[in-house]
Amino acid sequence: MSRSAHPAGPRHADVLPEGHYSAPPADLNALDPKVWAQTVGRDAEGTVTVGGIDVNRLAEEYGTPAYVIDEADFRSRARAWRTAFGTDADVFYAGKAFLSRAVVRWLHEEGLNLDVCSGGELATALSAGMPADRIAFHGNNKSEAEITRAIENGVGRIVLDSFQEIVRVAHIARELGKRQRVQIRITVGVEAHTHEFIATAHEDQKFGIPLAGGQAAEAVRRALQLDGLELIGIHSHIGSQIFDMSGFEVAAHRVVGLLKDIRDEHGVELPEIDLGGGLGIAYTSDDDPREPHEIAKALTEIVTRECEAAKLRTPRISVEPGRAIVGPTAFTLYEVGTIKPLDHIRTYVSVDGGMSDNIRTALYDAEYSVALVSRTSDAEPMLARVVGKHCESGDIVVKDAFLPADLAPGDLIAVPATGAYCRSMASNYNHVLRPPVVAVHEGEARVIVRRETEEDLLRLDVG
Ligand SMILES: Cc1ncc(COP(=O)(O)O)c(C=O)c1O
Ligand SMILES: N[C@@H](CCCC[NH3+])C(=O)O
């Protein structure tokens, strides 16, 4: 643990508080490629650039806070997922992680499909030209209007999440004179190793139909009887930010077990299974995510092995990565406002955003990294907590991190790996305006989601 002589840092290493930090990094100016977007780096003068553009210039032109997304990185991760699974499987990007029309176009061009989970996401996808048959529609409580719009537009599949929905979708499809391709989402009873709020395959939560007690088998029975539905497969999503493949292994085993039961009972071999998303990314240098080709190989082998054992034809696999594609491709650029050293504890560094642009730290106790990016510094490391400007003591962006002790108001700091579930979960708490998303690519920057304005806020306030 470091000793900081600077007045802005905690004075005695032996009284540093409990926290989620290890020793300070050897070089505070270094940007670990594990957590930063692919084109981020420092040039010979120490200037941080992304997509060939100086971050100081981005802050001048677009203001702070701002999400900065590296288009080349996004495209290359999307492509890596698609090529890892080849032509025998489908990759559906989970739009909930971050969706905008530019992102939809990138996905379309890179040959990916899209998972949407609301009318708003569906509208965004369709308006940006994603072919409807490449869209999967999810959600545990889709409205009749949403289901109708999805079927009218010809979405490739609807993932059914409850007994009521089986009947509802069948009825709407029949009324529209259609037969809708559907999957049934089941909960396989796996405890995924992740935060409880983002684990989704244990029984006591809201998603899917439990395998337990024969409920999933009963759901299949009903779906097969309804002529508005074409049951194409079984879906399982076990949770999010998962590194350990054993949960997927158990899930695949149980899904294939259900396919076998379906074959034995109905003489039907369902042609598809979807194993969901949930693959983890590096938020800090301590995280070690797997590469898409390793994941693809592992999942394909598990399913093939299980099917051989059950004497089933191997179904077409699909997956739904969100975070693993977009998460690492963006960072949030903030300006430092106030710096408050609390002796023997830590230094509170306040930035011009906070929990309204990144709720994940407050909600999931998530860990992030941070770096000074407007300049280099040779100052000693100080233990810092990066906090926002909201009226909430839980308004923390980065719980524990080392920043240089000469950090000053006006400096720019950036939090990497904020591409997923940050802009998409952003709010207007305290009527703070949501930041723009600026895409950078080969020396060019452009706004793909503009900064919210006070007019935007007031436009909705019609009282
Ligand atoms: C059904 C479904 N698919 C895919 C995802 C994407 O998860 P992740 O972003 O962790 O890959 C989620 C979110 O957890 C989900 O609920
Ligand atoms: N919003 C969650 C993941 C999505 C959970 C949806 N099933 C996160 O930030 O990690």
- What are the tens digits of pLDDT across the range 389-408? 999 999 999 999 999 999 99
- What are the tens digits of pLDDT across the range 161-192? 999 999 999 999 999 999 999 999 999 988 76
CA of 322 to the centre of ligand 1 (A): 6
Cis upstream peptide for 33 (omega within 30°):
no
CATH superfamily of 13-70+328-460: Lyase, Ornithine Decarboxylase; Chain A, domain 1 (2.40.37.10)
Stretch(es) of the chain classified as CATH 2.40.37.10:
13-70+328-460
The response to whether residue 320 sits with its C-beta less than 6 Å from ligand 1 reads yes
Q: Token match 């139909």: residue?
A: 209
Ligand 2 mutation target, pool 93, 236, 240, 325, most atoms within 8 A of CB: 240
CA of 335 to the centre of ligand 2 (A): 27
Stretch(es) of the chain classified as CATH 3.20.20.10:
138-321
3-state secondary structure 356-409: CCCCHHHHHCCCCCCEECCCCCCCCEEEEEEECCCCCCCCEEEEEEEEECCCCC
State how far the Cα of 8 lies from the Cα of 155, in Å rounded to an integer.
56
| 401 neighbors 384 (Cβ within 8 angstroms) | yes
| 129 neighbors 454 (Cβ within 8 angstroms) | no
Task: Quote the tokens at residue 311.
Answer: 């004497």
pLDDT for 205: 83
- What are the tens digits of pLDDT across the range 350-369? 999 999 999 999 999 999 99
Ligand 2 mutation target, pool 96, 283, 320, most atoms within 8 A of CB: 96
User: HSE-up of 265 (CA within 13 Å, CB side)?
Assistant: 14
Using the 8-state DSSP alphabet, how is residue 16 labeled?
Answer: P
* Nearest atom (ligand 1) to Cα of 97: 9
pLDDT for 6: 39
289 is in an annotated binding site: no
Active site amino acids: 391
CATH architecture of the domain with residue range 138-321 = Alpha-Beta Barrel (3.20)
What burial letters (b/e) apply to 332-355, b meaning 16+ CB within 10 Å? bbbbbeebebeeeebbebbbbbbb
The response to whether residue 198 sits with its C-beta less than 6 Å from ligand 2 reads yes
State how far the Cα of 342 lies from the Cα of 55, in Å rounded to an integer.
30
Start-to-end C-alpha separation, the chain: 55
Which residue's CA is the nearest one to ligand 2's atom 8?
421
pLDDT for 199: 66
320 is in an annotated binding site: yes
- What are the tens digits of pLDDT across the range 410-423? 999 999 999 999 99
DSSP 102-123: HHHHHHHHTT-EEEE-SHHHHH
The response to whether residue 185 sits with its C-beta less than 6 Å from ligand 2 reads no
> For the purposes of burial, counting CB atoms within 10 Å of the CB of 101, is it exposed (0-12), middle (13-18) or buried (19 or more)?
middle
The response to whether residue 254 sits with its C-beta less than 6 Å from ligand 2 reads no
The rounded average pLDDT for each run of 10 residues, N- to C-terminus, in the chain (463 residues) is: 39 53 85 97 95 98 98 98 93 98 98 98 98 98 98 98 98 98 94 65 84 96 97 95 90 95 97 96 95 94 94 96 98 98 92 98 96 97 97 97 97 98 98 98 98 97 95
Helices (H) and strands (E) in the chain, counts: 12, 21
pLDDT for 88: 82
pLDDT for 200: 64
The residue among 359, 376, 377 whose CA lies nearest residue 368 is 359
Ligand 2 mutation target, pool 118, 421, 423, most atoms within 8 A of CB: 421
CA of 161 to the centre of ligand 2 (A): 18
**Count of all residues that appear for the chain in the document:** 463
As for the ipTM of the complex, it is 0.98
